[in-house]
Amino acid sequence: MSLIIVLGGILLLFLMIIKKLNPMIALLITAIITGLFLGMPAAKVMTSVSAGIGNTLGSMVMVLALGAMMGKLIEDSGSAKKIVFVLIKLFGRRNIQWAVLLTGLLVGIPLFYNAGFVVLIPLVFAIASATGLPKLYVGIPMAAALSVTHGFLPPHPGPVALAAIFHADIGKTLIYGLCLSIPIAIIAGVYFPKLIIKRNMGIVQGDFFLSEVETLPSGLKSFFTALLPVVLIVAGTIGSAIQGNYYLKPVLSFLADPTAALLLAVVITVLFQQSGISKAMESCVEGVKSIAMIILIIAAGGAFKQILVDSGVGETVKVLTADLNLSPLFLAWLITAALRVTLGSATVAALTASGIVLPLVGLNAPPELMVLSVGAGSLMLSHVNDTGFWMFKEYFNLSLKETFKTWTMMESIVSVLGLLGVLLINSL
């Protein structure tokens, strides 16, 4: 009976999202109504809501805020564009897809998906015009790279929130995520478009913006600031895991905390800004403003998760699936993918699924791999109820059929390969 009530709650959430209700409000309403129908006292429902919000935000809100500051600093300084120009010069026209793919990975690490897409899309069009290649042939590598960073790599909101819920180590999650992201991005972003895109599909005209190069920061500075958060977190995680005492271990152990690593990265990046500290602080403020609603949605998702946990629904799922002989990682992916197809939003699907599959975390499902499995499921089969679907369609001026053949297929490839990669890592 409890699962039927949860399904009813998910249906209610779906209907409210279809009616364009704000996801944060929809999640809170769904959490409260689901808790009441599951037989929880009203006071207990609100206690669970408060606890879910506090537990979710308490361990990751500063990571999200500092990550947003970092992304905005890189965007406003022109470092993202400079990385594009440098890579295009290095790779040349023949290997332009690899240049765009690497650009998407580098820019996608500090920038959130929508920001990265908006920053890179004019450059994608300009590259297509300058090289005479179809814009989708150039654009899919960018979209694939941004998708894998969005689904698998902290400090993006989804992976960070899931790491907090599953009590996963963000450094280990990042390392595993990097192992998945690079090969998956290559398959979905380079080889997939070569198979399906015709040479005459979607060519645009435009300028290559070469006049901007002189006003941009140096390539060395651009790469340094873009990669700094990842380098610090990975170095801290690896360094703190090394056995024994050595001179730098206290420093590396400190950097293993993502809040410390991102704070140091933001300070260093601010000092590198040519525009001065005052202008850099304005960028930091704007960066946090840009993710305020994302943070609130994550908080509401944490409330819904806590209702599912406190009501015992997760334990019910664990008991019912015990005899199915299915990997908990596969089950987590499957549940998340079903919610993604139903609800549209990858973040909402991931947060909703986390409350259902949380009890499955254990010896055969390490928390870091559960984060990646749910992240992979949240990318599955994007279609007309997903804002990313329409953004891709409209920017590239595609028909619905073309969008399904390109964007939806690319997202599904990333999702399925992500699951296979997680299962492979777990078997090693």
Give residue 158's pLDDT band: very low, low, confident or very high (50, 70, 90). confident
| pLDDT for residue 404 is more than 50 | yes
For 362, phi then psi, to 5°, come to -175, -155
Residue position matching structure tokens 């290649």: 133
- Band of pLDDT at residue 333, cut at 50, 70 and 90: very high
Radius of gyration of the chain (CA): 21
User: Please, where are the H alpha helices in 291-408?
Assistant: 292-310, 313-321, 328-343, 346-357, 367-377, 387-395, 400-403
Given a cut of 60, is residue 212 above it in pLDDT? no
Those residues whose C-beta lies under 8 Å from the C-beta of residue 137, and which sit 6 or more positions away, are: 97, 128, 193, 194, 197, 201
What's the CA gap between 356 and 373, in Å, rounded? 14
Q: What pLDDT is recorded for position 202?
A: 42
Q: Residue 181's pLDDT is what?
A: 92
388 Cβ contact partners less than 8 Å away, ≥ 6 residues apart? 113, 346, 382, 407, 411
Question: What is the structure's pLDDT at 114?
Answer: 65
How large a percentage of the chain has pLDDT more than 70?
89
Give residue 277's pLDDT: 86
Mean pLDDT, residues 19-30: 87
Say which residue, 168 or 158, is predicted with more confidence: 168
Residue 371 confidence (pLDDT): 94
The string of pLDDT tens digits covering residues 30-74 is: 989 989 998 899 999 999 999 888 887 876 788 778 878 887 888
Q: Is the pLDDT of residue 136 over 70?
A: yes
Residue 122: its pLDDT value, please? 64
Asked if residue 179 has pLDDT above 70, the reply is yes
In this prediction, residue 206 carries a pLDDT of 41
pLDDT single digits (tens) 243-285: 777 777 788 888 878 788 889 989 998 888 877 888 889 889 9
For residue 227, the SS3 value is: helix
Note the pLDDT tens digit of each residue in 352-396: 888 888 888 887 889 999 999 999 999 998 886 676 787 788 778
Per-residue pLDDT band for 204 (boundaries 50, 70, 90) equals very low
Which burial class, exposed, middle or buried, applies to 322 when counting CB atoms under 10 A from its CB (0-12, 13-18, 19+)?
Answer: exposed
**More confidently predicted of 344 and 198:** 344
**Listed ranges 118-127, 198-207, 307-316, 414-423; the one with the highest mean pLDDT:** 414-423
In the chain, how many domains are there?
A: 1
pLDDT at residue number 321: 64
Please indicate whether residue 300 or residue 118 has the higher confidence score (pLDDT).
300
Q: How far is CA 121 from its chain centroid? A: 18
**pLDDT at site 201:** 42
What mean pLDDT is reported for the chain?
Answer: 82
Q: How large is the angle between the packed helices 409-427 and 367-377, nearest 10 degrees? A: 160
Residue ranges making up the domain that contains 206: 2-427
- 197 vs 354 pLDDT, higher one: 354
Largest CA distance in the chain: 65
Q: What is the pLDDT of residues 79-114, one digit of tens each?
A: 877 877 777 778 776 788 888 888 888 777 766 676
**CA distances in angstroms from 216 to 87, 107, 211, 220, listed in the order given:** 14, 15, 10, 11
What local confidence, expressed as pLDDT, does residue 205 receive? Answer: 41
